[in-house]
Amino acid sequence: MSSTHPDDHRASRHDTDPTDRNADPKPEADPAIGTAPAIGTAPAIGTAPAIGTAPAMDTAPAMDTAPAIDAAPTKRVLVLGFGNPGRADDGLGPRFVERVEALGLRGVTTSVDYQLNIEHADLVAQHDIVLFVDAATDAEEPFYLRTLAPASSAPTVSSHHVPPAVIVSLARDCYDARPRAFVVGIRAHDLDRFHEGLTEEAEFNLERALAHVIPLLAGERDFP
Amino acid sequence: MKKITIDPLTRVEGHGKVTIHLDDAGDVKEARLHIIEFRGFERFILGRPFWEVPVIVQRLCGICPVSHHLAAAKAMDRIVGGEQLTPTAEKMRRLMHYGQIFQSHALHFFHLSSPDLLFGTDGSAASAFAAPREQRHVLAVAKSFPELGRQGILMRKFGQEVIQATAGKKIHGTGAIPGGVNRNLSVEARDHLRKDADQMIRWSKKAVAVARDFTMDHLLEIATFGAFDSNHLSLVRPRDGALELYDGVLRAIDKDGKTLVDGLEDQRYLEALSEEVRPWTYMKFPFLKTLGPQHGWYRVGPLARLNTCRFVPSPEAEAARIEFQAVTHQKPNNVTMAYHWARMIELLHAGEVIRDLLDDADLQGEDLVTQGPRREEAVGIIEAPRGTLIHHYRVDRNDQVTMCNLIVSTTHNNEPMNQAIMRVAQDTLAKKPEITEGLLNGIEVAVRAYDPCLSCATHAMGKMPLQVQVVDAHGAVAAERIRSHELDAP
Q: What is the pLDDT of residues A125-137, one digit of tens each?
A: 999 999 999 999 8
Across chain A, the runs of DSSP E, i.e. the strands, are 77-82, 108-113, 129-136, 143-148, 180-187
Asked whether residue A31 carries a pLDDT value surpassing 70, the answer given is: no
Residue in B12, B63, B213 nearest the CB of A2: B213
Interface of B with A in 2-21 (CB under 8 A): 8-14
pLDDT level of residue B447 (50, 70, 90 thresholds): confident
Q: Report yes or no on A163 lying in a domain.
A: yes
| Cβ <8 Å between A160 and B13 | yes
Per-residue pLDDT tens for B337-356? 999 999 999 999 999 999 99
pLDDT in tens, B405-432: 999 888 899 999 999 999 989 888 876 7
* Mean pLDDT of the region A52-79: 49
Put simply, the chain B residues between 425 and 444 with a CB less than 8 A from any chain A CB are none
Between A and B, how many residue pairs show a Cβ–Cβ distance under 8 A?
174
Chain B residues closer than 8 Å to A118 by CB? 107, 110-111, 138, 152-153, 156
**Residue numbers of B between 163 and 192 with CB closer than 8 Å to A:** 164, 170-172, 192
Where does residue B173 rank: exposed (0-12), middle (13-18), buried (19+ CB within 10 A)?
buried
Residue A28 lies in a domain: no
| Complex ipTM value | 0.83
Contact B112, A159 (CB under 8 A): yes
Q: Are B389 and B383 in contact (CB under 8 A)?
A: yes
Beta-carbon separation of B213 and A157 below 8 A: no
Chain B, 67 to 126: residues with Cβ < 8 Å from chain A are 107-108, 110-112, 117-121
- Count up the domains in chain A and report the number: 1
User: Has residue B487 got a pLDDT over 60?
Assistant: no
d(CA B92, CA B185): 7
Structural domain includes residue A12? no
Q: Do B108 and A118 meet the contact criterion of CB atoms below 8 Å apart?
A: no
Decide the pairing of beta strands B285-288 and B273-276: antiparallel
Question: What is the C-alpha to C-alpha distance for residues B375 and B75, in angstroms, rounded to an integer?
Answer: 10
B256-265 average pLDDT score: 98
What is the chain A residue with the closest CA to B64?
Answer: A160
Residues of A in contact with B199 (CB under 8 A): 32, 38
Q: E strand or H helix at B275, and its extent?
A: strand B273-276
Q: Would you say residue A87 has pLDDT above 60?
A: yes
Interface touch A173/B217, C-beta < 8 Å = no
> Residue A116's domain is classified under what CATH number?
3.40.50.1450
Give the residue among B273, B40, B225 at the shortest CA–CA distance from B116.
B225
Contact of B215 with chain A, judged by CB distance below 8 Å, is answered with: no
Per-residue pLDDT band for B434 (boundaries 50, 70, 90) equals confident
Chain A residue numbers with beta carbons less than 8 Å from the beta carbon of B213 are 2, 4, 18-19, 21
Q: For B205-218, write each residue's pLDDT tens digit.
A: 999 999 999 899 88
Q: Is the pLDDT of residue A54 over 50?
A: no
Mean pLDDT in residue range B279-300? 92
Quickly list DSSP for B222-239. HHHTT----EEEEEE-TT
Q: Is the pLDDT of residue A27 over 60?
A: no
- Backbone φ, ψ for residue A154 (5° rounding): -105, 95
Question: What does the pLDDT read at residue A158?
Answer: 55
What pLDDT score was predicted for residue A86? Answer: 82
Q: Give the closest residue to B291 by CA, choosing from B255, B321, B267.
A: B255
| Domain span including residue A134 | 47-217
CB within 8 Å: B196 and A9: no
Q: Tell if the CB–CB gap between B455 and A160 is shorter than 8 Å.
A: yes
Which architecture characterizes domain B53-173+187-364 according to CATH?
Answer: Orthogonal Bundle (1.10)
The domain locations on chain B are 2-37+432-482, 53-173+187-364
